Structure 1
C-alpha cells in the first residue's frame, strides 16, 4: 500500500510539473490533498497545525471543500503571484490577488482564463470601472469581454475558523458586452489589503465559487 501511494504521488507530481515553474512542500501538500482530505470540516487545532496554506471552498452552493496550496508562481504577463489550490479529488482553483482566474477538473463547467488590461489588481475601496475578458468551457466560450464596476459596500468584522478580522467589503458588477448578462462578485479584504473571503460568479448561470482563507500564503 505504501509503495502504491508513493508511486501514485510521483506520477501526479510529474503530471503537474509541466505547467509549473516552482513549488513548495509539494510532497507533503499533495500527499494530504490526494490521500487525506474529503469534503468536510476539520477542527481548529488540526487546521492550525498544518504546515501550509489552506482554505474552505464552496462551489455552486454545494458541500464545503478543503483545499491546500500546492504551487505559488509568477504570472509572466502581470507579474503577480498566482496561487494554485488543490482538493482531494484533484480539482484545482488558481487565484491572483484574491481573484479566481482559472479552474480545472470542476464538474459541469470551468473557467479557462480571466484577463484584464488592468493587471487584475487587488479589489480596491475606490469606485472604479475596468474591462475584463473571460474564457470558459463547455461550448468554447472564448474572448467574452465584460465591463466591471467596483465599489465599496462598508466595513465590518469577518470571522473564520482560525481568525477574526476587521474587513472592508467590496462589490463588483460584471456586465458582458455581447449578451448583457450580469454577474456579481463580493470580496472581504483585511487591513493588509489581502482578500480573506470572497463570493465570485465566474460563468453566467454555471459557476460560482465561495472561498474563505484559513491559513494565508506567506511569500
Structure 2
C-alpha cells in the first residue's frame, strides 16, 4: 500500500540544497531521530552538505521489493530499494531516471546468503539528455568484516564492493555497501547511480518498518 508523509514530515528535513557547497552538515542525536515518527536517512551528494531526509512514500516495487522515497525540504528526492539508489529527482547535475531488471537485485536476496548470485544485469535511464536503456553488469565482492559508524555509534558490518560496467559507454565504477552481519540489510552505502553522476552517500538512521 502507498503511504505518504504529512507536510509536517516534509518540514522535518533540513532546509538546504545540494547545490550549496559548504553548507553545514545536518546533525541530530539518536534520541531525536528515534523520537520522530518517520523513517530517516542522512544523504550526501559528492562533497556537498550532509542532509537529513525523511521518508515521503513507500510503494511496491519490482520483484517483491518496496521502494522508499526520501525527500528533503527542498523536494530533492532519493529513492531506494533494498538499499540501492533506484531513482533521483531534482539533484544538481545528472539524475537517475529509472533502473530496472528482469531478475531480482542480489541486494534484495541477501548478499550474505551463499546461494545469492554475485553478478547482476540491469538497465538504467539517466538525464539530462536522451540516455535510455543502457545495459549494466555488476559484480559483487565480499571484502570481509568491518566497522561502520552510524550517527556516532560504531557497528559491526560486512563490507562489500560492487563493480558496475556499462560497456556501451566504456564506463565502470565501484559502489560500496556496509551490511548488517545478521540481517544482511544495508546500513550505509556510497553509490554512483549513473555515469558522470556524483557519488550518493546514504546512511540509514531510523529504518522503515517494512522492507528496505
Distance 1:25 1:136 in 2: 27
Counterpart in the other structure of 1:192: 183
Counterpart in the other structure of 1:66: 52
Gaps of 5+ in 1: 1-20
SS of 1:48's partner is helix
Q: Tell me the CA shift for residue 202 of structure 1.
A: 1.4
Counterpart in the other structure of 1:87: 72
Distance 1:58 1:117 in 2: 30
Distance 1:144 1:25, change over 3 A: closer
Query: Residue 10 of structure 2 contacts residue 72 of structure 2 at CA under 8 Å; is this kept in 1?
Result: no
Correspondence 1:30 to 2:10: yes
Counterpart in the other structure of 2:139: 149
User: Larger radius of gyration, structure 1 or 2?
Assistant: 1
Deviations 1:53-89 (A, max 9, x none): 11111102211111111111111x3221111100111
Q: Aligned Cα RMSD in Å?
A: 1.9
Q: 1:133 aligns with which of 123, 126, 133?
A: 123
Correspondence 1:53 to 2:44: no
Counterpart in the other structure of 1:10: none
Query: Residue 48 of structure 1 contacts residue 162 of structure 1 at CA under 8 Å; is this kept in 2?
Result: no
Distance 2:4 2:195 in 1: 34
Normalising by structure 1, report the TM-score: 0.82
Gaps of 5+ in 2: 17-24
Alignment of structure 1 residues 169-184 onto 2, 5 Å: 169-184=159-174
Distance 1:78 1:101 in 2: 13
Q: 1:110 aligns with which of 81, 92, 95?
A: 95
Distance 2:184 2:15 in 1: 30
Runs of 4+ in 1 over 3 A off after TM superposition: 36-39
Counterpart in the other structure of 1:12: none
Higher RCO (C-alpha 8 Å, min separation 6): 2
Q: 1:202 aligns with which of 175, 193, 199?
A: 193
Query: Residue 106 of structure 2 contacts residue 118 of structure 2 at CA under 8 Å; is this kept in 1?
Result: no
Normalising by structure 2, report the TM-score: 0.84
Greater helix fraction, Structure 1 or Structure 2: 1
Distance 1:145 1:25 in 2: 34
Distance 1:24 1:162 in 2: 29
Q: 1:41 aligns with which of 1, 11, 27?
A: 27
Q: Tell me the CA shift for residue 24 of structure 1.
A: 4.8
Query: Residue 54 of structure 1 contacts residue 69 of structure 1 at CA under 8 Å; is this kept in 2?
Result: yes
SS of 1:41's partner is coil
